[in-house]
Chain A
Amino acid sequence: KQEVTQIPAALSVPEGENLVLNCSFTDSAIYNLQWFRQDPGKGLTSLLLIQSSQREQTSGRLNASLDKSSGRSTLYIAASQPGDSATYLCAVRPRSGGYQKVTFGIGTKLQVIP
């Protein structure tokens, strides 16, 4: 059974700092890995999706990397802003089983202090 762990559970940084969020998974037979943002009391907003054949994806100040063999992904946020404050979830879709088998991490709660 796939297990997804996100470390740290919470992170507080001053505005402008670069930061890295970590996601690890136990089964490397994945189809893709996706990073989401969740604001309090809201749904999920997709940030980056990395296919299993890819090493990284970039969107603006965000860069996500994937190391399938070691079961790790990182989300790098450059020049953090107060508006980046949210909970960041990673989700792993297995090679077989489709979306029904997607496993979510508990998330890292990020606070960017002005």
Chain B
Amino acid sequence: GAVVSQHPSRVICKSGTSVKIECRSLDFQATTMFWYRQFPKQSLMLMATSNEGSKATYEQGVEKDKFLINHASLTLSTLTVTSAHPEDSSFYICSARGTDHYNEQFFGPGTRLTVL
């Protein structure tokens, strides 16, 4: 299968600061990337979908001004949590799909965000 990486794997920040998380497709071109959030003992919830070169589509209830998504190239998407608060502490997972692998979705290893 294809490989998706995320950086950083863990981040701790102070309340009010911004944090950027990177998602990269290492060996394929990702036409679409997805950002999920997973709270403890809950299922993955899709936050937004981004297509390379266009604006992200956010799910209902997700603030687009708070969670900035950029998908500037076919191998990189970034999620910036702006003015983070403790309630933003969660596990953020990205996934990517391209045309090379029958459109299958591949997941990154996740980023644990802790806001103090």
Identify the A interface with B (CB < 8 A).
Answer: 4, 36, 41-46, 49, 89, 91, 99-100, 102-107
Contact = CB atoms under 8 A, between A and B. Distances in A.
For the complex of A and B, list the 4 residue pairs with the smallest distance between their C-beta atoms, beginning with the closest.
Answer: A44-B107, A43-B109, A104-B43, A43-B110
A107 B42 CA distance: 8
A16 B39 CA distance: 32
14 contacts: A4-B43, A36-B107, A42-B109, A43-B109, A89-B43, A91-B44, A99-B49, A99-B95, A100-B49, A100-B57, A102-B105, A103-B43, A104-B43, A106-B43
Contacts of A107: 43
Contact of A46 (B1, B49, B91, B93): B1
For this complex, into which size category does the number of interface residues on chain B fall?
Answer: 20 to 34
A46 B43 contact: no
A45 B34 CA distance: 15
Nearest to B5: A43
Given A43-B109, A46-B107, A104-B43, 13 more contacts: A41-B110, A41-B112, A43-B6, A43-B93, A43-B108, A43-B110, A44-B107, A46-B104, A89-B43, A99-B95, A104-B44, A106-B41, A106-B43
B97 interface: yes
Interface string B6-28: 10000000000000000000000
Contacts of A42: 109-110
Interface in B79-107: 91, 93, 95, 97, 104-107
B46 A100 contact: yes
Contacts of A106: 41-43
